[in-house]
Amino acid sequence: MGKSSKDKRDLYYRKAKEQGYRARSAFKLLQLDEQFRFLDNVTRVVDLCAAPGSWSQVLSRRLFEEDPENCDQKRIVAVDLQPMFPIDHVTTIQADITHPKTLSKIMDLFEGEKADFVCSDGAPDVTGLHDLDEYVQQQLILSALQLTTCLLREGGVFVAKIFRGRDIDMLYSQLGYLFERVVCAKPRSSRGTSLESFVVCLGYKPPTNWEPRLDVNMSVEDFFRGCDIGRLTIKDELPAYHEEPRSVAEFISCGGLGSFDSDATYHDVPLNSIALDPVQPPTNPPYKRALELKRKGKLTRAAQ
Ligand code: SAM
């Protein structure tokens, strides 16, 4: 397979390199914003699970380069478990979003002000055990949501990657209690063959008298206590039938039909050069140690 064949098979991968983005995911945020315009007039932004940083690059270009007014008031904070190479106008924190100390680190950087926009493109390492993977992904979304409820101003926007699994309706219901409008959006740059989608939650509006609290040990039930999300209880007598309130998220496909299809191979798009190097090599790849050992001639094959 030629060095440029991935560029042809995945036009977004190619375009990301041409436009200086560290990952093709940049186009997912760009296409979501094209649809919802949630990055217009935002000042304080949090990018959770941000490495290698293509979403932060989009945010930096949008907030600082395309709209250079009031730059001294603008702030972008990016958080990831992995170290990130610096990005102009972005403060990076290497931390776990499920750890309560991460919240106070972000709050310190915002000096008591709330954020206008929080996004999370988080994905845990997959094990291949589907139930476990789905559970860990759900927990990551919940952590992002818990952080968001403590950081976001009323009326603010939250965008998060989800995988449309069996229990996704429950998440839509929970989000529906906290936001005025919840949309499940699939950008054209997200492969149609993947269950990946994004929840776009517009107009943060927590119930009155509901105080968000961040505690890793708190169950989902406890976190949403007071949000009046209907639940079933076991009683000796059957209660009168009562239909539970239920939120069904709208589904929107965004990116426009004119944009590239991420599942198609393009042979007729002229490529500027044969192959482009990655914009940013990984900071700490798992194969780094193997390469070091190989260089020193210490890499041996495991006995068969
Ligand atoms: N949006 C990024 C971009 O455009 O470059 C790509 C994000 S990548 C798909 C998912 C990231 O989630 C990984 O970098 C991973 O380290 C991060 N992640 C997973 N679990 C995390 C956690 N508990 N805390 C912080 N980051 C986490």
pLDDT bracket for residue 268 (50, 70, 90)? low
Cα 152 to ligand 1 centre (Å): 20
Whether 161 is catalytic is yes
**Which of 143-147, 150-154, 296-300 shows the lowest mean pLDDT across its residues?**
296-300
Q: Verify whether ligand 1 is closer than 6 Å to residue 121 (CB atom).
A: yes
Taking the domains of the chain in order of start, what are their residue ranges?
A: 3-270+278-295
- The whole-number average pLDDT for the span 230-241 is 53
Q: Verify whether ligand 1 is closer than 6 Å to residue 81 (CB atom).
A: yes
ipTM: 0.99
117-132 residue pLDDT tens: 999 999 888 888 878 8
Closest to 134 (Cα-Cα) out of 158, 170, 167, 106:
167
CATH of domain 3-270+278-295: 3.40.50.150
Cα 245 to ligand 1 centre (Å): 33
157-200 residue pLDDT tens: 999 999 887 778 888 888 988 999 999 999 999 988 888 999 99
Q: Verify whether ligand 1 is closer than 6 Å to residue 123 (CB atom).
A: yes
